[in-house]
Amino acid sequence: PQPSSPPPPPPAAATPTTAPGGRDADLITEEAPLRVIIAGAGVGGLALAHALRHGGNAVDVTVLERTKEFRRFGGPIQLASNALQTVRDMDPELYSSVEQAATWTGNRTNGIKDGIRDEWYAKFDLGTPAKVRKMPYTCVVERPELQQIFLDRVGDCVQKGAGVKTYSYSPTGVVVTTDKDEEIQGDVLIGADGIWSAVRATMRNEPEKGEGSGVSYSGYTVFAGELDYDSPDSNEVGYKVYIGPKQYFVITDIGHGRYQWYAFLAREPNSAETEPKPAGSVPYLRDLFDGWSPDIHAILQATTEDEVEQRDLYDRPPSVLKSWTDHRVALLGDSIHAMMPNLGQGGCQAIEDAKVISEELGRSLP
């Protein structure tokens, strides 16, 4: 006879809560909190440490940072409305500290200019989309200042000079091995260790750099300058991107009378070593941008050699097919979705990742 109703579905496979080793979530208590190790104290790692420490859950956070001192390169960071909204959602007090350090640019003129004709190609309306969604305007914050805001609020959980070399699993969770071959036990590891991520390399059994790492040279080297500068359009223009063949130049008002510029040049990798600059970087750039907007020459003229740094830019294609997690290990920020600086979103999206990961971890706790 025909059954009167379809057979019941087979029982769902049990989710392995401890695979491949580790404590069950219901063993996490105030006395035995979830031990989260974060590799990297960049913007993403610090945002996550902050979210976990202020999230009200039983979490013990350790941030392992490879460098002994934070570097200034990368200068100020633009925090677009999405990042600021995320910060505000995560913690209004944190937002208020960022707000105090911010120079607001999202309500000014920003856009792309023809580098040679010096005419606007496009002005971006960053203000209206933020306003209609009741989101904060885009701003710029000095990166070391942003780091300090986080460091002041995450307490003593950051260990500098403690690079992560690799990790493995143990019956009680994750074991992180540092550059000094120390072993640190945790329940969860988050790789927030940037584009050359050692955590990603271990997760995927790939090298950190070079062939097979998935990281490739972007085709561009960037010179960055940061200086006191009296610009004729300060308080009116946020950033201007002067574009032209094989190079472009960006000028950004970063507030308090300070300006940042970037010169992006299409070059072979390591051009810093192979391309001589006998008179220094500033005269070299003035020659390259000969015939371009007088704004470029005015700011270069005002820049001293010690205010300029150069670095090659590397990129990774978005990782959409391979997982961003492996059991008790997850990746965030540049370690898994690095992007070129001209998007102004790498740091912003690392902050968004931090919020999502902290919420996911919070949800998994009793």
Ligand X SMILES: Cc1cc2nc3c(=O)[nH]c(=O)nc-3n(C[C@H](O)[C@H](O)[C@H](O)COP(=O)(O)OP(=O)(O)OC[C@H]3O[C@@H](n4cnc5c(N)ncnc54)[C@H](O)[C@@H]3O)c2cc1C
Residues that bind ligand X (CB under 6 A): 39-45, 64-67, 74, 77-78, 163-164, 192-194, 196, 198, 222, 224, 333-335, 341, 344-348, 350
d(CA 268, CA 217): 9
**Residue 162 CB, nearest approach to ligand X (Å):** 7
Return the bridge partners of 174, or none. Answer: 169, 186
3-state DSSP of 71-122: CCCCCEEEECHHHHHHHHHHCHHHHHHHHHHCEECCCCEEEEEECCCCCEEE
Phi, psi of 16 (to 5 degrees): -75, 100
**DSSP SS3 for 248:** strand
Whether residue 300 contacts residue 251, with contact meaning beta carbons closer than 8 Å, is answered with no
Can you say how many angstroms the Cα of residue 358 is from the centroid of all Cα atoms in its chain? 16
**Residue 192 CB, nearest approach to ligand X (Å):** 5
d(CA 218, CA 199): 22
Tokens coding 272 = 């810093």
Phi, psi of 114 (to 5 degrees): -70, 120
- How many CA atoms lie less than 13 Å away from 106 in the CB half-sphere? 22
Q: Pick the closest to residue 350 from 63, 96, 145, 48 (CA basis).
A: 48
Nearer to ligand X, 28 or 354 (CB): 354
Whether residue 21 contacts residue 130, with contact meaning beta carbons closer than 8 Å, is answered with no
Nearer to ligand X, 28 or 176 (CB): 176
Q: Among all chains, which residue has been given the structure tokens 């695979």? A: 19
